């Protein structure tokens, strides 16, 4: 792992907790090693985490000389977080314990074009049922992390997108869900959340980019374990970078944007223009369902479907080269429902194209991989955001006192 010594990014409590979770049981010396900080700093961090009731001693190992080293481990049931990923075509909610295990998961319909009050009420109902089913004590639930697309005012908890309906522009999504559930709600970009979700499952403190594809295409970057935020957390807007400066005007204000050229929607539109293909695959549901039918057909050898996926993957690859040329990362992770069926096909095209096209390929290679569970990563990351927000606050306190 890179040393943080001369760098300006510090391993926060959240990163230390990630490492403890990842390793199972770890000594302060090992933590110091993994973070590049001093053992004294790690003692301080462990004391804070112990005080919060999040970690405890789980044993000792003999040292070469002197007193044995104490091993620190996660208290898995110290608290629980709810994570939700929501867009027009899909929604997933999870309840996660402190060890990062999914205790219960609900897959739900997306928002569609329904009134937001109805969408939020539905979500709140699911959360209520999930917490009851999981038999999680209410006072141990830290809050809800709600991952959706941008632009958004993350700190205010307000979405600022006109999609899928004008009602989304300026809608106080976080406050409304908080009122409906009685839990604090943090808003997060879905691609960034997916990155945090991937990290929750291992790879603490690492650096990688995320391509998130569900109803549309989004991007996120994790650096040394921290989300890249820019000035308003609206960066890494992969779906709306131009891949064709001479292309068509996009509703976003830019031209030749990636999403309307290579995203699930144009792929499905092209498929529907081929009546034989549409009939063969049974298309005609929503964009995401249809896209995954095309992806499955491509995987099973349908040439027309495969050509559509290959074309989309090639366009996406050009944009992901831009993403890597901009952020200089050595690893790209694919997440989101739209990779459920065709993830491997996208992965292969991206891997080949990146390693022949990125600017710094003679300095380092670029790995491309699928998230362990592409449909769950962003919801898992939503849960992770709740914990990070707590740990990165100046004086973290658990409501429960644990």
Q: Which residues bind a second copy (CB under 8 A)?
A: 2, 5-6, 8-10, 12, 150-151, 153, 160, 207, 219, 223, 226, 229-238, 240-246, 252-256, 261, 314-315, 318-319, 321-323, 325-330, 356-364, 392-394
242 versus 289: smaller Cβ distance to a second copy: 242
Q: Output the furthest CA–CA distance in the chain (Å, rounded).
A: 77
Least distance to a second copy from the beta carbon of 400, Å? 22
243 versus 379: smaller Cβ distance to a second copy: 243
Least distance to a second copy from the beta carbon of 7, Å? 8
Report the C-alpha gap between 386 and 168 in whole angstroms.
Answer: 23
59 versus 230: smaller Cβ distance to a second copy: 230
Pick the closest to residue 375 from 347, 335, 345, 342 (CA basis): 335
For 229, half-sphere exposure in the C-beta direction (CA atoms, 13 angstrom radius) is 12
Least distance to a second copy from the beta carbon of 329, Å? 6
Least distance to a second copy from the beta carbon of 154, Å? 10
Report the C-alpha gap between 373 and 228 in whole angstroms.
Answer: 22
* Token pair for 92: 């997933």
* Token pair for 342: 């065709």
60 versus 232: smaller Cβ distance to a second copy: 232
127 versus 317: smaller Cβ distance to a second copy: 317
At 371, which helix (H) or strand (E)?
none
Report the C-alpha gap between 140 and 138 in whole angstroms.
Answer: 5
Least distance to a second copy from the beta carbon of 306, Å? 19
DSSP string covering 172-237, please?
-HHHHHHHHHTS-EEEEEHHHHHHHHHHHTS-TT--EEEEEESSSEEEEEEETTEE--TTTS----
Least distance to a second copy from the beta carbon of 268, Å? 20
Report the C-alpha gap between 4 and 261 in whole angstroms.
Answer: 40
77 versus 311: smaller Cβ distance to a second copy: 311
Question: Which bin fits 98, alpha (ψ -120 to 50), beta or left (φ > 0)?
Answer: alpha
| E strand segments, 317-381 | 331-335, 367-370
Least distance to a second copy from the beta carbon of 316, Å? 9
21 versus 388: smaller Cβ distance to a second copy: 388
Pick the closest to residue 211 from 305, 88, 349 (CA basis): 349
């Amino acid at each position: 792992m890179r040393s943080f010594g001369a760098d300006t990014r510090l391993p926060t409590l959240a990163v230390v907790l990630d490492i403890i979770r990842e390793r199972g049981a770890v000594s302060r010396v090992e933590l110091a090693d993994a973070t590049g900080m001093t053992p004294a700093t790690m003692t301080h961090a462990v004391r804070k985490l112990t005080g919060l009731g999040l970690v405890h001693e789980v044993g000792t190992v003999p040292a070469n000389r002197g007193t044995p080293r104490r091993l620190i481990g996660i208290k898995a049931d110290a608290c629980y977080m709810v994570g939700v990923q929501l867009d027009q075509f899909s929604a997933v909610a999870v309840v996660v314990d402190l060890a990062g295990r999914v205790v219960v998961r609900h897959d739900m319909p997306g928002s569609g074009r329904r009134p937001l009050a109805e969408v939020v009420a539905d979500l709140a109902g699911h959360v209520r049922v999930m917490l009851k089913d999981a038999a999680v004590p209410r006072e141990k639930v830290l809050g809800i992390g709600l991952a959706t697309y941008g632009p958004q005012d993350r700190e205010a908890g307000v979405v600022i997108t006109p999609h899928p309906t004008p009602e989304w522009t300026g809608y106080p999504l976080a406050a409304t869900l908080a009122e409906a559930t009685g839990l604090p709600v943090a808003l997060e970009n879905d691609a960034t959340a997916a990155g945090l979700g991937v990290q929750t499952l291992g790879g603490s403190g690492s650096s990688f980019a995320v391509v998130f594809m569900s109803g549309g295409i989004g991007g996120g970057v994790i650096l040394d374990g921290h989300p890249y935020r820019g000035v308003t957390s609206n960066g890494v807007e992969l779906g709306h970078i131009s891949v064709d400066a001479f292309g068509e005007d996009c509703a976003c204000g830019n031209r030749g944007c990636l999403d309307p050229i290579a995203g699930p929607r144009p792929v499905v539109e092209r498929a529907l223009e081929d009546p034989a293909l549409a009939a063969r695959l049974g298309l005609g549901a929503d964009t995401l369902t249809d896209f995954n039918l095309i992806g499955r057909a491509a995987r099973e050898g349908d040439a027309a479907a495969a050509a559509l996926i290959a074309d989309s993957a090639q366009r996406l690859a050009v944009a992901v080269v831009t993403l890597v040329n901009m952020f200089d990362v050595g690893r790209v992770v694919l997440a989101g429902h739209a990779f459920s069926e065709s993830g491997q096909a996208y992965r292969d095209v991206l891997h080949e194209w990146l390693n022949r096209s990125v600017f710094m390929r003679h300095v380092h290679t670029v790995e491309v991989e699928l998230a362990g569970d592409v449909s769950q990563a962003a919801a898992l990351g939503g849960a992770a955001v709740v914990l990070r927000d707590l740990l990165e606050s100046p004086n973290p306190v658990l409501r429960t006192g644990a």
